Amino acid sequence: GAMGGSASLIPRDLLAEYQELTFLSKQEILLAYKRFSELLPKEERESARSTRLSKSQILTLPELRANPFQHRICHVFSTSETGDDSMSFEDFLDMLSVFSDSATSEVKSYYAFRIFDFNEDGTLDRKDLEQLVNCLTGQGEESRLSSAEMEQLIQNILEESDIDKDGTINLSEFQHVVSRSPDFASSFKIVL
């Protein structure tokens, strides 16, 4: 069958390991491999498993192109030593696994928290929330909030979420909020 070609590129034992380590089915892993290698130049496709995709290649994925957090997503899932946000096939799989329908909401909310923590200090502070709102409302002049509206919105978010009233939202507070919003998991997904 047509799958024969791409299936043989992932040895069976590795495929089994990927299934163990992710929320993805065998079919999804093979499809992910196909998508990953299609983003590479033709001459590099044979060795896709040992090649990194650059951030600009990753961002051509339609699923990410439309995502307001595309830069943060690349950053959080990249294991690049140099900090260039490039992804190995395994990084790519991790990303798809977290965004898959089968990932638990605990896993999704943990990664969402990391993605929203723009300054990477382990909490969502006012600055993070402001960037979060800007990403969600778009950067266009007509959609931007006035500073008063922004202030009000951040107040509301903190009142809802900041249980210990320290002015920031920590992971457990964030997960608590998410557990009360049933549509969170469905909005946090990429389907291949």
Local confidence band at 4 (pLDDT 50, 70, 90 cut-offs): very low
Q: Which residue has the tokens 């249980």?
A: 163
Could you tell me if residue 4 is inside a domain? no
Could you tell me if residue 110 is inside a domain? yes
Check whether residue 19 and residue 95 sit in a common domain: yes
Among residues 99, 130, 155, the one where a domain terminates is: 99
Query: What residue numbers bound the domain in which 161 lies?
Result: 105-188
Check whether residue 37 and residue 109 sit in a common domain: no
Query: Residue 8: pLDDT above 50?
Result: yes
State residue 79's pLDDT score.
Answer: 97
Reported as a single tens digit per residue, the pLDDT across 124-137 is: 999 999 999 999 88
CATH number of residue 62's parent domain:
1.10.238.10
In the three-class reduction of DSSP (H, G, I as helix; E, B as strand; rest coil), residue 103 is classed as coil
Check whether residue 77 and residue 113 sit in a common domain: no
Among residues 82, 99, 116, the one where a domain terminates is: 99
Residue-averaged pLDDT of the chain: 91
State residue 143's pLDDT score.
Answer: 79
Query: Residue 2: pLDDT above 60?
Result: no
In the three-class reduction of DSSP (H, G, I as helix; E, B as strand; rest coil), residue 124 is classed as strand
Cα-based distances in Å from 22 to 6, 34, 58, 137, 156:
19, 17, 20, 32, 36
Check whether residue 171 and residue 151 sit in a common domain: yes
Query: Residue 183: pLDDT above 90?
Result: no
Model pTM above 0.95: no
Check whether residue 77 and residue 91 sit in a common domain: yes
Reported as a single tens digit per residue, the pLDDT across 90-122 is: 999 999 999 999 999 899 999 999 999 999 999
For residue 40 the two structure tokens come to 């590479």
Check whether residue 93 and residue 135 sit in a common domain: no
Task: Work out how many domains the chain is built from and give that number.
Answer: 2
Query: Residue 9: pLDDT above 70?
Result: yes
- The DSSP secondary-structure symbol of 141 reads T
Alpha-carbon gap, residue 133 to 145, rounded angstroms: 9
Check whether residue 17 and residue 92 sit in a common domain: yes
Alpha-carbon gap, residue 118 to 38, rounded angstroms: 30
Reported as a single tens digit per residue, the pLDDT across 136-164 is: 887 677 878 899 999 999 999 999 999 99
Reported as a single tens digit per residue, the pLDDT across 14-63 is: 999 999 999 999 999 999 999 999 999 999 998 999 999 999 999 999 98
Could you tell me if residue 5 is inside a domain? no
